[in-house]
Amino acid sequence: MASLLATGPQAFAGAVELAVSSRSLLLGRSTHAQIIKSLYPPPVPSFLSNHLINMYAKLDLPSPAFLLLSLDPSPSVVSFTALISGAAQNNRPLLALNLFPLLLRSSLRPNDFTLPSLLKAAASLRCPSTALQLHAFSLKSGLISDAFVISAAVNMYHKTGLLSHARHLFDEMPRKTIVAWNAVMTNAVLDGFPEAAVSAFIRLRSAAENPNEVSFCAFLNACASLEYFWLGSQLHSFIIRFGFDTNVSVGNALVDFYGKCACVAEARQVFDSLSTKNDVSWCSIIVVHAQNAEEEEAFHLYLATRAKGFIPTDFMLSSILTTCSGLSGLNLGLSLHAVAVRSCIDGNIFVGSALVDMYGKCGSIEEAEQVFDGMSERNLVTWNAMLSGYAAQGNASVALRVFDEMRRGGGVEPNYVTLVSLMSACARGGRLKEGMELFEKMEERYGIKPRNELYACVVDLLGRAGMEEKAYEIIRKMPMKPSVSVWGALLNACRIHGKEKLGRIAAEELFELDPHDSGNHVLLSNIFASAGRWEESISVRKEMKDVGIKKEPGCSWITWKNEIHVFQAKDTRHERNAEIQCCWRILLLADLRRRMAAAGYTPDTRFALYELEDEEKESEVYQHSEKLALAFGLLCIPQGMAIRINKNLRVCGDCHEAIKFVSGIVGREIIVRDNVRFHRFRDCRCSCGDYW
């Protein structure tokens, strides 16, 4: 500071500028203190005061900035402009606009720096009348001829939704600047008119204007949302010719574009070739992998960003959270939640919604509720995440209540995803009346037409209630071709209620739609088996073998201490196999069987067919993969923690019964996620109500 004193006010100005560029409030404030101390008596010279006002305004401290302005006996348009532009940049549009009349009352005229900031403020306020007034002012003052002013006005009209005004203004521009072109293109993409952005780019080129990075990004975003692969990749060559391929923003847009077009390898190539990568680059590539079913690579890259010391952003965390699903994703999800809390972004609406979604998908409905309840702001995505969590649990009554709350209290209108969740909750919870009412009234009430997913839910709903014929009638009246999930729902209903004839029809349709899926053959064969029609059952199996369809081997897995333990039926390969066998044979077989028998359980060997094709013996039912996984869980996971098991196929009936009893006998919560839904076992009962 001694040297500053020696060199005088210029050095102070330099220090204040440094505070702005390094965004150091500490430096700014201490310099201000030094100025007051050393330049006694007040007031601070006008030019230094301007620097200080600018510093406080840019660092988002409007009050001291305003105080300095009011202390200035003859404030200049420069100080006002500094305050206005600071407010506009820091998302305080009302403050910026309120300063404008003050400026006019001080007998000052705004200049070509003041107006763009005011127009920017009006744009973020999205108030059409203010927009029109400011445009009129720019016309009267003659400032509209300034390139920055007119470009800002075009942008403002786009943002306030006055699109025809924006177009007129743009067309009237005598010399269209690249800033104005970019405003047109960027806003077209944001407003959901990507085609308009593409055509603007072509007009820009025919006007012999040179695009810059913003134009390239807008064009790539447009191609990404239209999935115009060829157009985007042509632009890629153009970008290379123009020498913009090393630009990090353009590179990020390319990564995003290739990712949206499902070209992961191309996206990765662009990412790897970027010499400077910022957090957006990392985030983009993580999203590309996450959205193209490469969750492991996405997580790998996420860990790399952590190792490089990047602070996770809300966007990065919410995208990586979408990769955590199933029970094995829970540990990952929990650690991400902790990271979100530490980075103070757990309150962000995107992160919050992603957390609700993750907990719902992992079957931790209480945690999902906790995050949901703690959110200060909720959007449709948040509500949908919560509803789909309840749907996966089959908790129809809560789902219906939350849906009601969403419409009444939240004022949020449902979309197709909402209704699918709600319908599947009704189906799984066996709420026939509410479900059918929803289905019949959805077009009239919400203007939403059912598609395949919804039809599948209705068929499921009716099928569970034993109304397979009615379900079949609805399928036949469908305006589109029924999908695998629709016929699958019917086949499953036929399995539950032993409707062989209709089951065969559904199965034939499925064999045609999805000839290589073994599950449908197994289901049909089981329908015949449970009806005691062994010949037909065996013939379906034979058919399956003749066409060369291999049954997907049933396996269950359980995560313990960051390791995934996989079990197959009759599996003896696990390192703790002896103990697992012991667990079932001695502990459970001997003890539990006695207790089970007392509680009314006898093994149901009919279900053995689901997993085993060999001759069935009672003891082999005890070797099903989910039972082995459960035994391992009982051995390892301490009392008080829920045991979470995943299964790739539908959980079999015998295992379902057995796990129900075990949950009561050992007094633990056991959650099984099969390929259809969650089963939450507690006190000898399952959340599915034996209806799955």
Binding site for Zn ion (CB under 5 A): 624, 652, 655, 679, 686, 688
Q: Which residues lie closer than 8 Å to 438 by C-beta, 6 or more apart?
A: 419, 422, 423, 426
Q: Give residue 538's Cα distance to chain centre.
A: 45
Minimum CB separation from Zn ion for residue 530, in Å?
Answer: 15
Angle value at C-alpha 678, between 323 and 600, nearest 5 degrees: 155
CA–CA dist 109, 106 (Å, integer) = 9
Minimum CB separation from Zn ion for residue 557, in Å?
Answer: 15
Minimum CB separation from Zn ion for residue 492, in Å?
Answer: 14
Minimum CB separation from Zn ion for residue 423, in Å?
Answer: 20
Q: Give residue 416's Cα distance to chain centre.
A: 16
Nearer to Zn ion, 457 or 651 (CB): 651
Nearer to Zn ion, 340 or 686 (CB): 686
Nearer to Zn ion, 16 or 686 (CB): 686
Nearer to Zn ion, 58 or 650 (CB): 650
Nearer to Zn ion, 52 or 396 (CB): 396
Minimum CB separation from Zn ion for residue 94, in Å?
Answer: 55
What is the arrangement of strands in the sheet containing 670-673, beginning at the earlier edge strand? Answer: 563-568, 555-560, 643-647, 670-673, 678-682, 685-686
CA–CA dist 229, 243 (Å, integer) = 21
Nearer to Zn ion, 434 or 626 (CB): 626
Nearer to Zn ion, 28 or 603 (CB): 603
Nearer to Zn ion, 568 or 577 (CB): 568
Nearer to Zn ion, 188 or 493 (CB): 493
Closest by alpha carbon to 634, among 691, 584, 562? 584
Minimum CB separation from Zn ion for residue 626, in Å?
Answer: 6
Minimum CB separation from Zn ion for residue 514, in Å?
Answer: 24
Closest by alpha carbon to 242, among 265, 266, 211, 273? 211
Report whether 126 contacts 161 (CB < 8 A).
yes
Q: Which residues lie closer than 8 Å to 217 by C-beta, 6 or more apart?
A: 249, 250, 252, 253
The residue written with tokens 């003859």 in the block is 74
Nearer to Zn ion, 66 or 681 (CB): 681
Minimum CB separation from Zn ion for residue 95, in Å?
Answer: 58
The sign of the CA dihedral 92, 97, 98, 104 is positive
Q: Give residue 682's Cα distance to chain centre.
A: 31
Nearer to Zn ion, 295 or 611 (CB): 611
Minimum CB separation from Zn ion for residue 513, in Å?
Answer: 27
Closest by alpha carbon to 566, among 575, 556, 580, 576? 556
Closest by alpha carbon to 555, among 645, 485, 495? 645
3-state secondary structure 190-255: HCCCHHHHHHHHHHHHHCCCCCCHHHHHHHHHHHHHHCCHHHHHHHHHHHHHCCCCCCHHHHHHHH
Minimum CB separation from Zn ion for residue 488, in Å?
Answer: 18
Nearer to Zn ion, 472 or 567 (CB): 567
Minimum CB separation from Zn ion for residue 584, in Å?
Answer: 13
The residue written with tokens 């047109």 in the block is 184
Minimum CB separation from Zn ion for residue 586, in Å?
Answer: 20
CA–CA dist 383, 418 (Å, integer) = 8
- The three-state secondary structure class of 429 is coil
Closest by alpha carbon to 677, among 688, 685, 686, 669? 688
Q: How many CA atoms lie within 13 A of 108 on its CB side?
A: 18
Nearer to Zn ion, 510 or 652 (CB): 652
- Stated as kind and residue range, the H or E segment containing 565 is strand 563-568
How many of the other CB atoms lie within 10 Å of CB of 264? 18
How many of the other CB atoms lie within 10 Å of CB of 292? 16
Nearer to Zn ion, 434 or 674 (CB): 674
Strand 643-647 versus strand 670-673 pairing type: parallel
- Cis previous bond, 479, omega within 30: no
Nearer to Zn ion, 333 or 363 (CB): 363
Q: Which residues lie closer than 8 Å to 212 by C-beta, 6 or more apart?
A: 178, 182
Tell the burial category of 598 from Cβ atoms under 10 Å away from its Cβ (0-12, 13-18, 19+).
exposed
Report whether 418 contacts 386 (CB < 8 A).
no
Minimum CB separation from Zn ion for residue 356, in Å?
Answer: 23
Minimum CB separation from Zn ion for residue 688, in Å?
Answer: 3
Minimum CB separation from Zn ion for residue 623, in Å?
Answer: 9
